[in-house]
A and B are shown apart, each in its own frame.
Chain A
Amino acid sequence: MYGLGLAKGLVVTAKNLVLPSRMMTIQYPDRKVGLLGLSKATDTSLVDLIRKDPVNVFKALLGIADVKTSLPQHPRFRGEEFNWYEQRCTGCASCAKYCPLGIIEIVTSESGDQMQEGQKYHLDKFDIDIGRCMFCGLCVEACPYDALHMGSGFEEGKYRRQDLVIDKRQLVSAKKKPSTWFRPQLSNKNYDPHKGKNVKWDSAGRHEKPSLQQQQDKWAKR
């Protein structure tokens, strides 16, 4: 009555305009920043920025400088690229056996003539076809030596299907930022792959892999 409902509607939209907390948009994969925003995003002082990167400073003055942004993800997010530690893997192929889709292909060969316990197979091939993967994570659960972890990224768009097959070379050279899914040793340390550093192979497992000497001692004591 008396147009009060119209005024209410105007107040709602005016709140949207004024209050910055009502802004919902998260910009991705980059956002435009001004000069102060650029120095804050790159974590350098203004003077350093002007000395090092004058082109970007000029762009920032115009308001067209880009800063990469990422979408907030949970640390247990099961990402597309797998995390694999060559040093931990024995080539037992548990992951390949457990995979419901059979998309992990492992080819091993003997690494020497006189194999002893503690030594491992030589991995000729370790292919994961993430184009067909459903990210159930059974392979990660199955890995007895914590060599295989879920990844934390999701920007794996490719133009061809065969590019989606991750081979051994890619797995070795990828960034070691494992998801903490099914890895309590990482989540107990409050590790966040989206903020934290790379995890080295010797700190990624539940327990350390015993050395050859330790194994031999263990057998000798029995």
Chain B
Amino acid sequence: MLTKRIIPCLDIKDGRVVKGVKFIALRDAGDPADNAVVYDREGADEIVFLDITASSEHRSTLIDAVERTADAVFMPLTVGGGINELEDIKTLLRAGADKVSINTQAVLNPDFVKQASYRFGAQCIVVAIDAKRIPGPANGGKSGTWEVYIYGGRKATGIDAVEWSQKMEHAGAGEILLTSIDRDGTKSGYDIELTAEITKRVGIPVIASGGAGNMEHFYEGFVRGGADACLAASLFHFRELSIKELKEYLHNKGVAIRLV
């Protein structure tokens, strides 16, 4: 039986690991490859690197981090952030990434995901969707709609997140990495309504992200949200929760989990 995945995410700036709260206030905490080795030992099912380096001149530090990580751990590695051209994808895959996560460029260039999927295969193309809930009153009193944001959550696009996820599936995305901007960094739990809405509408795996604060939040993400994988960053990163402990908890609650 296919198991649900637990994915630690490392935010990377200039080749070093950081974690922001609501995309601001970064805290430096170490070397990406060293962190990956710890997560590998603890039984993480995959690792995600999110590059938040602003300028492209520091891109080589990311490539170096990806190479060193891929040399040290033998598990799937997804790398996202700043992917604007097909050549960026090729470079990352060559460096040892298994999948790349595309966010802003997917919105700016409607054909990009299609081209990337065609060239490299859907299995390595993850589309990251940063979604923000549209408040009821601003939306004619209707709740349950979310807007896609780009540029690290800074720019609204006017695109409906649910429709966007379906569009990206058709364009050839192999997976959706769904982050709730409202919940990111709050530790108040995943946006279950958003996660459930999108897992219901697409036939590709969905990773829930943004808001995990305790073990129950993961359970909710899988069981009520229908997520195929749950991602968290600071929670694992600052050792508030160990992956091993989390996986045992989920296993005991009847979730299909790989124990190592």
Q: Do A and B associate with each other?
A: no
